[in-house]
Structure 1
Amino acid sequence: MGKASRKKQERRARKAVCAASVDVTGSENPRALGEEALERLLRSNAPGKLSLAGAYAFGYGALGYAQHEGTDPYWHQEVDPLDVLFLGTVWPKWFRDELEFANARDAWLRLLRGTVHGKGVKRFVREAVSASAELGIPVDDGELMLALTGRLEGAGLDQRRLPRRLLPEVALQDCRAACGPSLDLRLSDPPEDAKERIRRFWENAEEESWADDTPQTVLRDGLRRFQEAGLPVEENSGLLLPALYAMLMTKPGELLEDMAEHARAWAVALDEASTLVPVLDILLLAPELEMPVADALGHLFAVPAFTEPFPSDALLWTSSPGLALPRLAFELGIPEVTTREETVTPDLLDWVGMHARMRMAAAARGGAADPDLDLDQTDSADSADSRDGTPKESDERWAQRREAVREAVQRKVRKKSRGTAATRRRSDRPVERIWNADGSSALWISADTPQGRELMEGLEGQLEAFREKFGREPGPGDPLFFDPEADEPTRLTKEYFDDMLLRMAERAKEMGVDPAFLHAWREVGYVVTEDTRSGFTAAEVIAFNRALARHREAGE
């Protein structure tokens, strides 16, 4: 797009936003104050010459403009104020999808840490959460986002311009989150006993190892599941990363055809300082360099992190809109953030991320179909080898080739698994959670086991308690476990459950229960047992086991 076209588009966007404004000078109405501030900020800022407040105004205007033009993607419905601010820093440019957007957002926020603008972002988050609490409006509600605009000047966020070097267009040019690892990255040489370790790796792939929290074990279990689904895991190195990701992060309802794309987004999202990055870089580069599976495994065994426990930062999904603001709020000591979906607390971050990923994947499938393309259709004859005297390919050609290989890997999985949920053996547990592709779920209770029958009796008793309390049958939106003191069906609060678990922990030893088990349950928000583990991801099991170990070590 030329400079003249961009300026014309900017003027049209300003008009589209300002057209909704009304003349309410002097009013204390938050919406009116927001509209007035929005108009001022749009006039006093310009693309490339933005304060944080100005970036937010341009992001808000960009959302309105896209909606007005009918070009807004499905994921715009999921953004929160911090997402809007980031959108404004890149406008009028757009992102391919929500995965690219979220990873670029997080990489940019990391770059701002330790700068005066990073402090400004923290102030912005505090203002957003405070406005949400004061007005009683979810932080990602459109009404709140407009009202927030009226507070940014008073917070001083219109005073400093972002220097060009910190604008995403410049700052993220060579960023791993945007470009992935370099094809020239030097990989560690395989250890001398690599062949023996690879042999043992495949031999030990018969049973899942729930107690082991290393990438080696999780990858092995993921490859076994892919193999059961008919995928050529010993021949196609493009399946290594999706297998690791699928085993670690996905719920049974998630479709295999989404795995490659989501796996890449998860892998490049990690901070470059993470100890897991060298492992993920090998998995990312293996298909692009047409590396045999055995060679990739050899390089992996040369990386210490491959056989060490996963770092905690790898256990969360962050590559969706709406996830950065709560994380930063919790870092600032803010206990909860209210969104349109729910009130988010630190123990719900993994749950919220998983639901966002599944919800948007379902929305994306509703809007576009995936073409079939086999991995063998990629053109491997164009690769250059400077050792043979052949000229190296241009950067543009390499970028095209990398994208072609990436797409081919994704479609290889799709071709084998279109419409198929992530493979999990149907367990013989008395209770199992059945997941749908959009993140919704239902409990399946077997009446063929004593535990299942006991649970069914307990639920029947709870239904009867509801009838006695409210004089009617529970409706679709009514909580089955309700506040006994409330006059209307009211869901039990997190505080209620936390207090209950604390009281139980105080009496745990008398009941023959490990109190650390209850403290871990309270910390992560769920409990993993032999009977329930099939409903959890490996990341969730790892997080629970680590919390349990911490509380045992603390003597709780």
Structure 2
Amino acid sequence: MNEFDELGMTELANRLKLESPEKMSIAGAFAFGYGALGMQQTDAREDLSWYNDLGPLETLFLGMIFPKRFADVHELSNSLATWLRQVRGEKIHTWICEFVTLVVDQSFDAGVPVDDGDFLLSLNHFLEKQGFHRYRIPGRLLPGRVLQGSRVATGFADVDLGEITVGPTSESWLRWFWEEAEEPRDNPTVLEALRNGLRRLRGDEPEMHDAEPDIIVLGLYLSLVADSDETISDLPGRAFAWSAGLREDSPICRIVDIAYAATRQGWTLDDALLAAKEAPGANSVVETADRRWMSSPLIIFREMAVELGHGGIIARHEPEWASASGGARAKTSAMELLEEIESDLRHADLVVERSNAPELNQRRINYDGSTMVSLSPQAAAKVRPIIEEQRRMFEATFGRSPGPGDPVFWDPDRSDEPTPIDPKVFQSEFHQGLRDFAMRSEDPTERAMFLACADVGMLIAEENLHTLTTAELAEYDRRFAHHLTEEQSRVLLLDPADEIRLRGVSEDNIERKQMRKVIEAVKRRASEFDRDRVAVLAALQATALAAIARELPQFQRRWGDGTPDETLRSFVDEAVIDLRDPSILALTVDEVVAFGSRQPAGPVDEEVLVDWMQVLNEVVGFDEDR
């Protein structure tokens, strides 16, 4: 036994004598957690062996919720993650951050894993020495109270499914879901992720309509979270654990509840899918937080350590990566990963360059998750009239001047007393305002920008990019890309014969992969706009071919005497073709051009058009029979 062990045992005994589960400090909670850990580890039952894998944060949480016991490590991890989300912004969250920093520092100094048993014992001494026994946990913030009524405590909701009416639109949607060929997107909606996952589960089987509806949960997990080396036998248990730990406001929660309720009520899989289709948020982009696996030990601890700037941790066994799913596994090549790293470095350079510029707004995120904003003189000058107007309104409403503790923005329904406006209401009105701006714009790029800002909860422009973290910027970029695709597809659906709009969308998506996403969105959303998908695609094809037919002769003259086959191939080989050139429209709308009968349009000879289309097919590399 070393000196730290003795000190740890002394402080452990003292804390257990001085404190109780109802009234405890951070140091006391850790002592109770360590005691609970020791009690379970002496139990010979095999189903409690997972206690040996717990780290310092799980140990602290066990003490705060003592004497409750958990069914398995997934329930414990999900409860910890939910509690931390709920107390973010409270003083206790700051204390937890200090706890993580202390543990990581002591671990690196001693060269000992954070989940080593002797090290955990010695932490009782360090917590006492650093004054964590003075950090008294308010009763209202103890996990037992915070988690009351939460999803991790009550389980899955027993939703009322009502009745599903299957009509032509429903049948068309189910055909799209099961049969239509479509390339998976990097940033799918909830329904697209479900579709991709169930198709992977189906494999080469012609159908899986006889499967129980709860396979929906497995499909979502497989599409969004599952690692490539997970075994089939592990998937159901991990899918259940992941779905049980989802954020309360995640749109996936509703679909998971529908899946389990439909199974209990004997519904078919297709009927459950139609119910899921109508769930709120089913067509929203999957949140990054919902693509993370947080249901194993040490994941949350390492995430917090990295967020606090420690870079990593030492552990007996490498914990799973929360980001091993979704975005991280979506990287298909080292080049994509390199591009992301370069983007992060460019953003870091921008932050360094602008962080001390007095003429720009600055933003700092504190330990407890709160945010402090420093306004530039120019911004302050713009805000000052707003503050003065609020002051006049305050005096008119309450009959006195505002005092030091009075809110700048107050609840308009409370004219008797200045009551701060509910932050959730304020945020909701802010989000709705951005969406209203988006709806009033006819420019798809501008609409996408405002919708993405509404999603992330802040107005983002070139002037304030330096105030964002790399994670916030990546999330905004992801949301913007999704909304831009959706808004461009909306433009084409509203008037597929409008050549100017088709050119505009094409020129904004000079990469085939991007334009293909737009056309796939057109196919997917046709029924949403009450359009016939085949008719829309045929109209887009005719518009594209008409543009080519009208402009082909002058480009043939400019290129010389060679046939379209020879001239276009030589231009491609010499890499001198500008894909933004309207005459190369079909290169970026290959999905449109590939669709249909290939009937020529306009005054150009049919053989010339056929030759042209043949070369385009070779250049863009799509299958004519698709």
Where on the TM-score scale, by shorter chain, does this alignment land: which range?
Answer: 0.5 to 0.7
Q: Counterpart of 1:426?
A: none
Alpha carbons of structure 1 residues 233 and 145: separation in structure 2 relative to 1, 3 Å: farther
Does residue 43 of structure 2 align to residue 64 of structure 1?
no
Q: Counterpart of 1:322?
A: 298
On the 8 A contact 1:214/1:306 being kept in 2, the answer is yes
Distance 1:341 1:547 in 2: 30
The superposition leaves residues 253-306 of structure 1 with CA deviations (integer Å, 9 ceiling, x where unpaired) of 433333232212111212213344333333343323444323322232224633
SS in 2 for 1:306: coil
Q: Counterpart of 1:298?
A: 274
SS in 2 for 1:181: coil
Distance 2:88 2:21 in 1: 22
The superposition leaves residues 505-545 of structure 1 with CA deviations (integer Å, 9 ceiling, x where unpaired) of xxxxxxxxx7x652326789xxxxxxxxxxxxxxxxxx9xx
Distance 2:128 2:11 in 1: 8
Q: Counterpart of 1:518?
A: 338
SS in 2 for 1:153: helix
SS in 1 for 2:115: coil
Following superposition, the deviation at residue 246 of structure 1 comes to 1.9
Distance 1:141 1:341 in 2: 10
Distance 1:128 1:341 in 2: 17
Following superposition, the deviation at residue 215 of structure 1 comes to 2.6
On the 8 A contact 1:30/1:147 being kept in 2, the answer is yes
Matched letter for residue 244 of structure 1: L
Q: Counterpart of 1:39?
A: 13
Following superposition of structure 1 onto structure 2, how do residues 309-458 of structure 1 map, counting pairs within 5 Å? 309-342=285-318, 349-351=322-324
Match of 1:181 among 156, 178, 182: 156
Matched letter for residue 269 of structure 2: V
The superposition leaves residues 369-390 of structure 1 with CA deviations (integer Å, 9 ceiling, x where unpaired) of xxxxxxxxxxxxxxxxxxxxxx
Distance 1:175 1:225 in 2: 32
The superposition leaves residues 186-224 of structure 1 with CA deviations (integer Å, 9 ceiling, x where unpaired) of 8999899444322321222x5662556233233223222
Q: Counterpart of 2:189?
A: 214
SS in 2 for 1:337: coil
Q: Counterpart of 1:54?
A: 28
Matched letter for residue 188 of structure 2: D
On the 8 A contact 1:80/1:140 being kept in 2, the answer is yes
On the 8 A contact 1:318/1:353 being kept in 2, the answer is no
Alpha carbons of structure 1 residues 59 and 203: separation in structure 2 relative to 1, 3 Å: same
On the 8 A contact 2:170/2:274 being kept in 1, the answer is yes
On the 8 A contact 2:247/2:290 being kept in 1, the answer is no
Matched letter for residue 316 of structure 2: R
Matched letter for residue 48 of structure 1: E
Following superposition, the deviation at residue 59 of structure 1 comes to 1.1
Match of 1:82 among 57, 76, 97: 57
Does residue 30 of structure 2 align to residue 30 of structure 1?
no
The superposition leaves residues 370-411 of structure 1 with CA deviations (integer Å, 9 ceiling, x where unpaired) of xxxxxxxxxxxxxxxxxxxxxxxxxxxxxxxxxxxxxxxxxx
The superposition leaves residues 151-208 of structure 1 with CA deviations (integer Å, 9 ceiling, x where unpaired) of 112333222443443333333232112323321568999899444322321222x566
Structure 2 residue runs of 5 or longer lacking an equivalent are 345-470, 482-626
Distance 1:200 1:55 in 2: 53
On the 8 A contact 2:161/2:275 being kept in 1, the answer is no
Matched letter for residue 4 of structure 2: P
Following superposition of structure 1 onto structure 2, how do residues 475-486 of structure 1 map, counting pairs within 5 Å? none
On the 8 A contact 1:139/1:339 being kept in 2, the answer is yes
Following superposition of structure 1 onto structure 2, how do residues 477-516 of structure 1 map, counting pairs within 5 Å? none
Q: Counterpart of 1:536?
A: none
Following superposition, the deviation at residue 126 of structure 1 comes to 1.3
Q: Counterpart of 1:251?
A: 227
SS in 1 for 2:133: coil
Following superposition, the deviation at residue 150 of structure 1 comes to 0.9
SS in 2 for 1:338: coil
Following superposition, the deviation at residue 229 of structure 1 comes to 7.9
Count of matched residue pairs: 349
Greater mean deviation of Cα atoms: 229-238 or 321-330: 229-238
On the 8 A contact 1:190/1:299 being kept in 2, the answer is no
On the 8 A contact 2:26/2:136 being kept in 1, the answer is yes
Matched letter for residue 350 of structure 1: S
Match of 2:215 among 211, 236, 239: 239
On the 8 A contact 1:190/1:300 being kept in 2, the answer is no
Q: Counterpart of 2:595?
A: none
Following superposition, the deviation at residue 113 of structure 1 comes to 1.8
SS in 1 for 2:214: helix
Distance 1:316 1:148 in 2: 29
Matched letter for residue 34 of structure 1: G
Q: Counterpart of 1:128?
A: 103
Following superposition, the deviation at residue 241 of structure 1 comes to 0.9
Matched letter for residue 520 of structure 1: E
Distance 1:312 1:61 in 2: 36
Distance 1:265 1:343 in 2: 17
Q: Kindly report the root-mean-square deviation, in angstroms, between the aligned alpha carbons of the 2 structures.
A: 4.0
Match of 2:283 among 282, 307, 313: 307
Following superposition, the deviation at residue 352 of structure 1 comes to 10
Q: Counterpart of 2:389?
A: none
Does residue 142 of structure 2 align to residue 167 of structure 1?
yes
On the 8 A contact 1:519/1:548 being kept in 2, the answer is no
On the 8 A contact 1:194/1:301 being kept in 2, the answer is no
On the 8 A contact 2:294/2:300 being kept in 1, the answer is yes
Q: Counterpart of 2:242?
A: 266
Alpha carbons of structure 1 residues 547 and 519: separation in structure 2 relative to 1, 3 Å: farther
On the 8 A contact 2:164/2:275 being kept in 1, the answer is yes
The superposition leaves residues 18-43 of structure 1 with CA deviations (integer Å, 9 ceiling, x where unpaired) of xxxx8x9xxxx333322221111111
Distance 1:118 1:31 in 2: 28
On the 8 A contact 2:194/2:220 being kept in 1, the answer is yes
Matched letter for residue 141 of structure 1: D
On the 8 A contact 1:523/1:547 being kept in 2, the answer is no
Distance 1:96 1:136 in 2: 33
On the 8 A contact 1:188/1:302 being kept in 2, the answer is no
On the 8 A contact 1:103/1:178 being kept in 2, the answer is no
Q: Counterpart of 1:119?
A: 94
Structure 1 residue runs of 5 or longer lacking an equivalent are 1-21, 355-430, 433-500, 502-513, 525-542
Following superposition, the deviation at residue 85 of structure 1 comes to 0.6
On the 8 A contact 2:41/2:52 being kept in 1, the answer is no
Q: What TM-score do the two structures reach when normalised by structure 1?
A: 0.55
On the 8 A contact 1:241/1:264 being kept in 2, the answer is yes
Distance 1:31 1:47 in 2: 24
Following superposition, the deviation at residue 252 of structure 1 comes to 4.6
SS in 2 for 1:133: helix
Alpha carbons of structure 1 residues 94 and 211: separation in structure 2 relative to 1, 3 Å: closer
The superposition leaves residues 449-507 of structure 1 with CA deviations (integer Å, 9 ceiling, x where unpaired) of xxxxxxxxxxxxxxxxxxxxxxxxxxxxxxxxxxxxxxxxxxxxxxxxxxxx9xxxxxx
Q: Counterpart of 2:75?
A: 100
Alpha carbons of structure 1 residues 335 and 198: separation in structure 2 relative to 1, 3 Å: same
Q: Counterpart of 1:480?
A: none
On the 8 A contact 2:190/2:283 being kept in 1, the answer is yes
Matched letter for residue 178 of structure 2: W
Greater mean deviation of Cα atoms: 194-203 or 75-84: 194-203
Alpha carbons of structure 1 residues 154 and 118: separation in structure 2 relative to 1, 3 Å: same
